[in-house]
Structure 1
Amino acid sequence: MMNYKQLYYFWNVAKHGGVSRAAEQLHLTPQTISGQVKELAQSLGVDLFIQSGRRLKLTPAGDLVFAHAEEIFQTGKALEARLKSRQHHSELLLRVGVSNVVPKSIAFSLLSPALQLPSPVRLNCYEDRLDALFAELAIHNLDLVIADRPLSADTGVKGYNHLLGECSLAFYGTPELAETVKPDFPMSLDGAPLLMPGPDSALPPALERWFGDMDISPQIKAEFDDSGLMKAFGQEGVGLFPAPEVIREQAARQHGVVIAGVTTAITCRYYAITPERRLKHPALEAISRSAQDSLFKTRVETSP
C-alpha cells in the first residue's frame, strides 16, 4: 500500500520546486524530505524527478503521480472544510440527487419534511440524468437519489431501493383540450395530441404497452427529458401530458392545467435510493415517513 506521508512530501517538493523549499514549508530537514521521496520512488518502481540545472524536474511518471497527488490532497482539504463548516453551523447536511424526469412538485413534497425537523438540515440538491446521479452515489458524493425507477443490478452501483410511494397516472391539459378528451376517456386519446417523457423516464414503455392493449394511437407531438419543460408545453395547449395523479393541485395552480382522465393500469412509483440499506439519516427517515403517511396515502378510484 502506498505511503501517503511520502506522497505528501513528494507533492510538496514538486509544488515548491525543490527539496530545500519543501523542507522550509514543512519545517523538516532536507535530508528527511529527500530520503522519503527516494523511498516513494523505489516503492513505485519509477523515477519521479530528474535534475535540471539547480532545479528538480518531474519525469513523465512524476507528472502522473503529481496529478493524482494534487487531486488526493485537494479532496482532503475540501473534506476538512466541509467538516469544519458542518461543526460551525451545527446542522445536518443532506446531499440529494433528483432525476430530471421527477416532477418538481413531487421532489418538493418529498424533500420538504427534511426541513421541518427540530435539528436544522441543509439540503444540497442536484438535478441530472439518472446515470450521472448513480455515478455520484457510487463515490458517496450523494446521500440520496430520488428516481421514478429502482436501481438495477446491471448498473454496477451498490445501492438500496426504498419505495416511497405510488399513485395512478393522469393525463393533464388545458381546460379546453381536456374537455375534448374527458367524455370518452381513454379511447378519446386515439389521435389526440400528446407530449411524452423521454427515455430516461420509466413511463414510456408502460404507456406504449397500454396504448397497444387499448388499440389507440395518440399523436405524439414532442418528447422531453425534463418534466418541467413538458408541463410548460402542456400549459400552452400543445398537447396532453402524462404525470402522477397526486400533483393535480400543484399542476392546476402552477400551470393552469386540469386532469382529462386517470388510469389505474399504469402506476407511477418513486424511490429513495441510498448507499446504505437502512435509512440512518434523520432527514431520510422523515422523507420516507411523510411520503407514505401523507403524499401517497390517498389513492383515487378512477377509470381503467
Structure 2
Amino acid sequence: MDQLNLRHLYYFWVISREGSIARASDVLELAPQTLSGQLATFEASVGGRLFLRERRKLILTDLGRLILGYADDIFALTGELTETLHSGPADRPLALSAGISASIHKLLVYYLLQPAMAIKRPIQLECQTGRTQGLILSLKRKELDVVLTDRMPGVQEETNLTVHPIASSSISLFAAPALAQRLRPGLPGSLNGEPFLANATDVPYFERLMNWFSLNGVRVNLVARVDDSALIKVFGREGYGIFAAPTVIQDEVCRQYEVEHILAIDDVTDELFAITRGSRLNHEAVRAICEARIDFRSARKASKKPM
C-alpha cells in the first residue's frame, strides 16, 4: 500500500457503481477479462477480497465498503477538478456536449438549451441525438456533460447520476386538415379505428395515452412506429394518420407541418429531465439548464418578440 494504484482504485470504484464487471467494462471500454484481472491485482495489493458473489451479483465486503467510501471522496474531487480545468478561463468559449433523446421534439430541445446559451460566457455547443440508454453510457464515460431525456431507465438506481426535472407539457393530437375536420365532430369517440402514428422509441407518455384512449372507449389503429419526432409529423402532414405532440408547441407544429390541432389531453403529460454526473453542478452551462425549470409558454412568447 506504499504506492496505491489509483487506476486500479478507479476500476474498483466503477465496478462498485455499476454493480457488475460486465457493465463496468462497457463504461471503461475494457474487456471483462482484463477488468477482472485488474480487480484481482488490486485485491492482492490491499490484502483482501473486495466483493462476494451472490446470485450473480457483486456484494461489497466490509473492506470493499471501507475503500469505496474513500474512493467516493477521491473521485468526486477529481471530477470537480476535471470540470474546472475543462471550463478554462472565463474569456474562453465553454464547451457543452449535450445528449438529446431522439424522441424529444427538437423545438423543445431548443427551449431547454436556451438557458445555457444565455449565460454571459460564450458557449461552444455540441449536440448528439440517440436513445437515452446509449446517451447515459456516454455521460458515464464523460463524453457528454448532460443528457436531456423524457425517460429514466434505471437511473434511479445509479448513485453516481442525478436526475433534474426541468419541464412538462400536456399532450395534444394532430392530423392533416381533411382528416382533422372529419374527426372533430364526436371527439373523442370519432378517433375509434383511426390510423395512429406512434414513436418507435417508446416515449413514456405513450402508455398513458393508450390508457386514455381505452378509458374513453377508443381503439386506434397503429399504422407506423417512427423513431424521429420530425418524421412522424411529415407522415401526419401527408395524411397517413393522427400523431401526438406536446401541447405547448401546437402553434409551431401546425404552422411548420401544415396540420391541424384536434384535441388537447390534459390527463397525459410529457415530462422532461436533465441527467448529470454527480449531484454538484460545476459546469456553468449545465447548471443553467438544470436550474431554469423552463416555462414553455413564456419561452414561446419571448421567441416571437420582434427583433
Q: Quick check: TM above 0.5?
A: yes
**Greater displacement, 212-221 / 266-275:** 212-221
Shift in Å at residue 296 of structure 1? 5.5
Shift in Å at residue 189 of structure 1? 1.3
CA deviations over 1:168-193 (Å, ceiling 9, x no partner): 11001122221222222222211111
Partner of 2:243: 241
Amino acid at match of 1:295: F
CA deviations over 1:25-58 (Å, ceiling 9, x no partner): xxxxxxxxxxxxxxxxxx99xxxxxxxxxxxxxx
CA distance in 1, matches of 2:279, 2:125: 21
Partner of 1:253: 255
Shift in Å at residue 279 of structure 1? 3.4
Shift in Å at residue 2 of structure 1? 5.2
CA distance in 1, matches of 2:129, 2:114: 16
Partner of 1:195: 197
Partner of 1:97: 99
SS at match of 1:217: coil
Shift in Å at residue 259 of structure 1? 1.0
Mapped contact 2:164–2:275 kept (Cα < 8 A): yes
Shift in Å at residue 206 of structure 1? 1.4
With over 3 angstroms needed to count, the CA separation of the structure-2 counterparts of 1:157 and 1:215, relative to structure 1, is farther
With over 3 angstroms needed to count, the CA separation of the structure-2 counterparts of 1:258 and 1:276, relative to structure 1, is farther
1:225 aligns with 2:238: no
SS at match of 1:102: coil
Mapped contact 2:90–2:121 kept (Cα < 8 A): no
CA deviations over 1:87-124 (Å, ceiling 9, x no partner): 69701111100000011111112113322222101111
Matches within 5 A, 1:130-149: 130-149=132-151
CA deviations over 1:186-245 (Å, ceiling 9, x no partner): 222111111011243112221222222222111111011111211111121111101110
Mapped contact 1:151–1:160 kept (Cα < 8 A): no
Shift in Å at residue 268 of structure 1? 0.8
Mapped contact 1:86–1:93 kept (Cα < 8 A): no
CA distance in 2, matches of 1:250, 1:199: 23
Mind listing any 5+ residue stretches in structure 2 that lack a counterpart?
A: 8-40, 43-81, 300-307
Amino acid at match of 1:261: L
CA deviations over 1:39-93 (Å, ceiling 9, x no partner): xxxx99xxxxxxxxxxxxxxxxxxxxxxxxxxxxxxxxxxx9xx79966970111
With over 3 angstroms needed to count, the CA separation of the structure-2 counterparts of 1:269 and 1:154, relative to structure 1, is closer
Mapped contact 1:206–1:266 kept (Cα < 8 A): yes
CA distance in 2, matches of 1:154, 1:251: 33
CA distance in 1, matches of 2:105, 2:191: 22
Mapped contact 2:146–2:276 kept (Cα < 8 A): yes
With over 3 angstroms needed to count, the CA separation of the structure-2 counterparts of 1:257 and 1:98, relative to structure 1, is same
SS at match of 2:143: coil
Matches within 5 A, 1:21-60: none
CA distance in 2, matches of 1:165, 1:94: 20
CA distance in 1, matches of 2:114, 2:160: 27
CA distance in 1, matches of 2:178, 2:231: 20
Mapped contact 2:87–2:95 kept (Cα < 8 A): no
Q: TM-score, normalised by structure 1?
A: 0.65
1:295 aligns with 2:306: no
Partner of 1:122: 124
CA distance in 1, matches of 2:188, 2:276: 37
Residue identity over aligned pairs, in percent, reads 30
Mapped contact 1:172–1:178 kept (Cα < 8 A): yes
CA distance in 1, matches of 2:116, 2:202: 27
SS at match of 1:184: coil
With over 3 angstroms needed to count, the CA separation of the structure-2 counterparts of 1:84 and 1:141, relative to structure 1, is closer
Partner of 1:269: 271
Mapped contact 1:115–1:122 kept (Cα < 8 A): no
Higher Cα radius of gyration = 1
CA distance in 1, matches of 2:151, 2:207: 12
Mapped contact 1:198–1:204 kept (Cα < 8 A): no
